[in-house]
Structure 1
Amino acid sequence: MKPISELLTHRDSMMYQIAPTVSVFEALQLLAKLEVGALLVMQDGQLLGVVSERDYTRKVALQGRNSKETTVAEIMTRDVITVTPQTGTRDCMSLMSHKRFRHLPVVDNGKVLGIISIRDIMDDIIAANEETISHLTSYINS
């Protein structure tokens, strides 16, 4: 089982974040610009939460709130579950599946290193399976 730190080294090193005082509308603009589904909510280097498209849908759109008047702090997911760089990719997948979320911050000794999406993990699992198939095919053909 591969540690999640390997996924972090093979992807864009940018850690997309937003302040809790920013409007939800601005957060949505940033999500669209970056083509991501979630942002880390950070203040003074501390992880306060995660804000996602799902948070917007459930806590703003469906409740008839105004995204320009609502702040990220009002809708973000707090008490975020995190993993360490040593956590295995399959453990992350299991955690995300059981807890029903799609984004997982990676934290080491209180320092946020990045965020992994379920897509990142699925891409890694697919690549590993393709490699296994290739090795087995090569073995069978030799």
Structure 2
Amino acid sequence: MKPVSVLLAKRALPVCSVQPDDTVFHALQVLAEHEVGALVVMEGDQLVGVISERDYTRKVALQNKSSKDTLVRDIMTRDVLVVTPKTGTRACMQTMREKRIRHLPVVDAGKVTGMISIRDIMDDLLEEHEQTIAQLESYIAS
């Protein structure tokens, strides 16, 4: 499997972020606008958390709170696991499986450079399998 940097280069998406004092409603708007499932939470250049759709459903909707009155800081995940651009996708997949998470921020030299999702990993895995099948079919046919 490839390093994370290769997957990020294919997508060329901007790093989507919110601040801790933003409302959850604002975070939901950013999630919808960029069609992503999680955002990094930044204070200046510092990564301080991650907020996901799962955080919203479990910590706001199911607790009958208002997304317009709840701040990101109140529901974000603070102990963020991160990977580097050199981290292999197989290691990302293992971390996601073990920790039961779907998103990993990518940090290079202390700067957030992207976010990798389980979908990115699965797309890469499927692409790799399709290439292997094509090579095997070509070998068999020759």
Across the two proteins, how many residue pairs are aligned to each other? Answer: 142
3-state SS of the aligned residue for 2:47?
Answer: strand
- The CA distance in 2 between the partners of 1:34 and 1:4, in whole Å, is 20
How many percent identity over aligned positions? 62
- The CA distance in 2 between the partners of 1:44 and 1:77, in whole Å, is 17
Partner of 1:44: 44
3-state SS of the aligned residue for 2:113?
Answer: strand
The structure 1 segments of at least 4 consecutive aligned residues displaced by more than 2 Å after TM superposition are none
Q: Which runs of 5+ in 2 are unaligned?
A: none
- The CA distance in 2 between the partners of 1:30 and 1:83, in whole Å, is 23
Partner of 1:83: 83
Cα RMSD of the aligned pairs, angstroms, is 0.9
- State whether residues 16 and 30 of structure 2, in contact with CA within 8 Å, keep that contact through their aligned partners in structure 1: no
The answer to whether residue 30 in structure 2 is matched with residue 30 in structure 1 is: yes
- The CA distance in 2 between the partners of 1:12 and 1:56, in whole Å, is 26
TM-score by length of 2: 0.97
- Listed one character per residue, the Cα deviations across residues 122-141 of structure 1 (whole Å, up to 9, x for unaligned) are 00000010001001110111
> What aligned pairs does 1:89-108 form with structure 2 within 5 A after superposition?
89-108=89-108
3-state SS of the aligned residue for 1:104?
Answer: strand
TM-score by length of 1: 0.97
Q: Which amino acid aligns with 2:97?
A: S
Q: Which amino acid aligns with 1:129?
A: H
Offset of residue 59 of structure 1: 0.7
